[in-house]
Chains A and B, each alone.
Chain A
Amino acid sequence: MSVVTKPTGPVAPVETITVTIDGTEVQVPKGTLAIRAAEMIGIAIPRFCDHPLLDPVGACRQCMVEVPDMGNGRGMPKPQASCTLECAPGMQIRTQLTSPVAAKAQTGMLEFLLINHPLDCPICDKGGECPLQNQALSNGRGESRYEGVKRTFPKPVPISAQILLDRERCVLCARCTRFSEQISGDPFIALVERGALQQVGRYADHPYDSYFSGNVVQICPVGALTSASYRFQSRPFDLVSTDVTCEHCASGCRLRTDQRHFQVKRRLAGEFAEVNEEWNCDKGRFAFVSARGDDRLTRPLIREDGALRVASWPEAIDAAVAGLAAAGSSVGVLTGGRLTLEDAYGYSKFARVVLGTNSIDFRSRPGGVDEAQFLATRVAGRTLADAVTYADLEAASHVVLVGFEPEEESPLVFLRLRKAVRKKGLKVTAIAPFASNGNAKLNATVVATVPGEEAAALRALDLAAGDVLLVGERAALAPGALAAAAEVADATGARLAWVPRRAGDRGAVEAGCLPGLLPGGRPLADSAARVDLAAAWEVEGLPTGDGLEAAAMLAAAASGELKALVVAGVEPADFADAAAARAGLEEAGFVVSLENRLSEVTERADVVFPVALIEEHAGTFLNWEHRPGRVNTVIRQPNTPMTDLRVLAALADALGTPLGVRTAQQALTELTELGTWPAATAAQKKPARKAAAKPAKPARVTDGEATVRLATWRQLIDGGRGQDNEEALAATAKPSLARVSPALATALGVVDGDQVAVSGGSGWYSLPVAVTPGMAEGTVWVPQNSPGTPLGELGVVFGDEVTLSVGGAE
């Protein structure tokens, strides 16, 4: 892979106009607001309500400027709010730097804002990074002339489980309410009351439910909005900040991680115009404390007399080497989705060079028959330069979602789509079982589709060149859907992008963590690619045998065909059949686990190596655009465990075949030097093997029992282990519901809130029903991994038949 910046291509000429600000002429694009034009020449006009990503409101009146000439020779009689003032050709603008009128207006406005603002800066979370505090110093008067009574409110008011509102501190800039309405589309907070009693309020019966609620804390220009997780945790000036890339999904958000005393205190959305602009989701913001419990692994463990005990590093390495050496090349490698590109590369090379196996698979989730082919021909080896990007989504006129719920599975893709829908009239079509809340907020046309029939729905769409197809990881489970997407894209000129769910997925493909795929998109089946890679790795040859996919590895381990497993971040319940996954791990002759916390894998492992947390790591995540995002080390402590890569290198050394790389930088350099395999993109564009779609049958309902097709996806905030220990975040999760169509509900005789049992191959659980108008018939939707109800325990996957029966509350 290589780090390439996407060429910008031909850009339509922007019509510019010339204005004069404080005597300096500046050319700005037509439509530029005066406050932005001033920024371009380094003049900071104080402001509160203004935010470049929110619609102008002109409420705080802090950014007043004088306009002696509107460009037509006439001046504006009154000072103007520069955040709502569009530049006109020849306009003269005088800011506080040259206009006493503007300066006095600004000073007066700050005095007004402060008369009712509490002087609690010493205990306020915002103190030290507060726009009100800063601008009071830069543009305010030294002392207040106010001798009256300040407005007070009881404090704080929780507007959700996570967000607290301190109304006394609020300057009523409406940034939070505009964000919730305009950006995320969750208008559950609004300004209420009037005059000096105006305040941010929430609907009495409904908290501020939003996956993006943390952003309002960040954009609040005062300390009025705080989060339950960070409130009173630290002072800004005691924090050390590091830019990182979020590890929770494939959106690739840049974050700012703040640590103090070797502990991460908070994470903020970083500024990255190309990706997350200035936003992130609540999972990315708040879910970083999962390893704070007492299940954190810091020392190696080895199994002795059936139980794990603490071991020294040399002891553990010797034990692992003994087990792996005995297994020879009969080893499977399960890497999971949490790895950085560099760590994934380490596993890929470790499997091929050290273990001599192609049995490596990053997919700790149900995979489909033609997925590997799709990934090899449509994803691997691609770079940002030829990829669909966020900017392309914003510029597109039609985006189609297949097996992909942006708000749940890649929230920043959702925000960008919503921006395009709102600002540019983007049309979104979703091939989905029902119109989710996220799709409603995208104003999407939902093609209600029974799981498994996505391919037909896709072929029936009317697409044009330049349209974008976004395919999620579930599309692999719909027979023929990936092939149909590829065919449709080729036939119409529509662009295609695969949006995986986990942050490490795209990098794992690039690193070759698939049985048939070597690093850089080299197909295993291509001997030239194998020779090229072997030469680069300076090895005599690479294993040529067909490797096993993840589920097959576990089955082979259970049956003894595979003698050992090397397992990274994997949870049995993520697999199609959790029981089978557990059995595989238990029956396997030898299991080496690299983990940062105790898990169901470590419980069943023979040797456990502790590995570094993401904040103790450097590396790269490739997002869905194939864009590399840097992960920097946040916590530098002498007792930090080794990274996965470092452990693998140590094992390789001990096994007698050096890995050749032991640091993230070395791995990235080597992978970059390998480059991508050009033939992979050109030669293999033939349509993927078509799997027969299971014909949809109407739901059979008898005696309060129905056989229906299962639809599912993961909700953003769910039972995933990476979200552990953050209670306020967990409390904002959506409830677990079983969605059925009104007709199916009637046939079953259930109404909203009734319990129904969902039974699959190896178990059942019950959920309250949500009757969902417009839902595809003969279908039930349940969340894939919500607390207490992971679908892996039922042994069923998206598109399988399940039995739905009335009752079943435990």
Chain B
Amino acid sequence: MTDTLTPVLSANWGTEKSWTLEAYRKAGGYEAVATALKMTPSEVTDLVKDSGLRGRGGAGFPTGMKWSFVPKDNPNPKYLVVNADESEPGTCKDMPLLLASPHTLVEGMIIASYAIDCHTAFVYIRGEVLHVIRRMQQAVAEAYDKGYLGKDILGSGYDLDIIVHAGAGAYICGEETALLDSLEGRRGQPRLRPPFPAVAGLYASPTVINNVESISSVPSIVKNGSAWFGSMGTEKSKGMTLYSLSGHVKRPGQFEAPLGITLRQLLELSGGIRDGHELKFWTPGGSSTPILTAEHLDVPLDYEGMGGVGSMLGTKALQVFDETTSVVRTTLRWVEFYKHESCGKCTPCREGNWWLVQLLKSFEAGTAQDGDVEKLLDICDNMGGKSFCALADGAVACVTSAVRHFRSEFEAGRATPAWELFPYGRSALFEVQEKVEVHA
């Protein structure tokens, strides 16, 4: 089965001190920059457009098209902002990438900045991951040392500065306009659109915001061509990508494979569900993507495949849960996260998540009332599609999909605590003492 894997971004992760510029260069790094700087910016953009690369942050917007939206006649400076505020529950692809090979991102940023005529680019990294911030800072410093950043890069006459910015640990700052506010030194809350960032983003100037993985994929496209990239994946979801498996699998981790691989294949690659257990439910791309079950094992993990079964590809963070897991408890944990991370700007997200948590706690404790499942769904309906940004939509998605697939577990919450139906110790990957009194 090894031929299913297509390590490109992760190809050099196993090399000695892979994060250093020297090791990166030894593996062929920074060759794409030289190639790109000899092309015209619009040729670079066209190349990325042709490759079919779509945003790897979750929404799947075509990357090259995003770049081409930057108005050429705007007198303000143009900015590239890389979103490295990876915070979605279950998602863990950008952090390992930056830890193992930060220069891949630096190289991608140089090429992308060149393509959009940007001379100051930013990486906004989630504040808690200090080791990644340091590694990124070090990589940028090394790149300056070797002339890949700063003035007249590789004698091309092109100048670029990269600024590594640490966020303060708020999930909402992964929302691109909240990220911009935070980067400007304000409180991270989503902005009203229009104007869109491509027209008036950072400091009211044209701004492209891309995910770490999207930008990191660019050097390989420049190096190998759009046809090579398009040869991987499916018709509308091209290229390779990082799938992050976690949960009740034998060998969790990053699996770089062409888009369109299935969970069944990924489970085979990761050794399957832990012994003696079977798959109960899973998320295709973090907790904001509606959960799926064993019946979806063979659905292609690409933008269209996931959309076709009422979910989303998201960040390709596959959280896998076996039959010992309480859906009610899992949903509660997720919604507690959204309640904690709601920025508070809009009513449905701020108040709705506050309410959902209290209601879900009653389901977990077995104290829900008749009609509470309907109430839960109605609250979700009043939140979904009505909030200022997509945060509430993500919160609602895990609840409604959980009820859709496992309604009986919620109905049981009217009489039986979840910890009695699914003793929590059984779903742990290590020995735990059952502490029922905690919930009493």
Contact = CB atoms under 8 A, between A and B. Distances in A.
A316 B343 CA distance: 70
Interface stretch (A106-114, A436-444, A519-527): A106-114
A538 interface: no
Interface in A96-114: 104-105, 108-109, 111-113
B353 interface: yes
Interface string A59-87: 11110100000000000011100001000
Chain A contact surface mostly: loop
B386 A108 contact: yes
Please indicate which of the listed interface residues A79, A115, A149 has the most CB atoms of chain B within 10 Å of its own CB.
A115
B339 A61 contact: no
Contacts of A77: 385
Interface in B338-396: 339-348, 350-355, 358-359, 375, 378-379, 381-383, 385-388
B1 interface: no
B70 interface: no
Q: How many B residues touch the partner, as a band?
A: 20 to 34
A112 B358 CA distance: 13
Nearest to A116: B351
Contacts of B375: 145
B192 A61 contact: no
B386 A79 contact: yes
B344 A195 contact: yes
Interface in A308-367: none
Interface size class of A (residues with CB under 8 A): 35 or more
Nearest to A110: B347
B192 A56 contact: yes
B404 interface: no
Given A61-B386, A61-B388, A111-B382, A196 B354 contact: yes
Given A145-B375, A148-B355, A112 B340 contact: no
A62 B387 CA distance: 10
B98 interface: no
A59 B345 CA distance: 6
Contacts, number: 100
B35 to A, nearest CB: 41
A117 to B, nearest CB: 10
Interface in A736-763: none
B354 A195 contact: yes
B395 to A, nearest CB: 11
A6 interface: no
Interface in B133-174: 170, 172
Interface in A135-161: 145-146, 148-149, 151
A198 interface: yes
Contacts of B346: 58-61
The CB with the most chain B CB atoms within 10 A, among A64, A193, A196, is that of A196
B381 A108 contact: yes
B339 A195 contact: yes
A406 B350 CA distance: 41
B343 A105 contact: no
B131 interface: no
Contacts of A149: 358
Given A84-B192, A151-B354, A195-B350, A78 B386 contact: yes
Contact of A196 (B339, B378, B388): B339
A77 B390 CA distance: 14
Nearest to B355: A115
Nearest to A80: B386
Contacts of B426: none
Interface string A173-208: 000000000000000001111111110000000000
B351 A115 contact: yes
Contact of A105 (B342, B353, B359, B382): B382
A78 B170 CA distance: 26
A105 B381 CA distance: 9
A369 interface: no
A104 B345 contact: no
Nearest to A190: B187
Q: Report which residue of B342, B354, B375, B385 has the largest number of chain A beta carbons within 10 angstroms of its beta carbon.
A: B354
Given A191-B187, A195-B339, A172 B386 contact: no
Contacts of A56: 192
B329 to A, nearest CB: 19
Nearest to B393: A78
Given A113-B351, A148-B355, A194 B386 contact: no
Nearest to B354: A196
B354 A108 contact: no
B343 A112 contact: no
Interface centre among B344, B351, B379, B382 (most CB of A within 10 A): B351
B175 to A, nearest CB: 13
Given A108-B381, A111-B382, A195 B353 contact: yes
B347 A62 contact: yes
B347 A146 contact: no
24 contacts: A57-B192, A59-B388, A61-B348, A61-B386, A61-B387, A104-B382, A105-B386, A108-B348, A108-B383, A109-B348, A109-B386, A111-B382, A112-B355, A115-B351, A116-B351, A172-B345, A191-B344, A195-B341, A196-B342, A196-B351, A196-B353, A196-B354, A197-B344, A198-B345
Interface of A: 56-62, 64, 77-79, 84, 104-105, 108-109, 111-113, 115-116, 145-146, 148-149, 151, 171-172, 190-198
Given A59-B388, A148-B359, 7 more contacts: A61-B348, A62-B347, A78-B385, A112-B355, A115-B355, A148-B354, A194-B172
Instruction: Identify the 3 closest CB pairs spanning chains A and B, nearest first.
Output: A108-B382, A198-B344, A148-B358
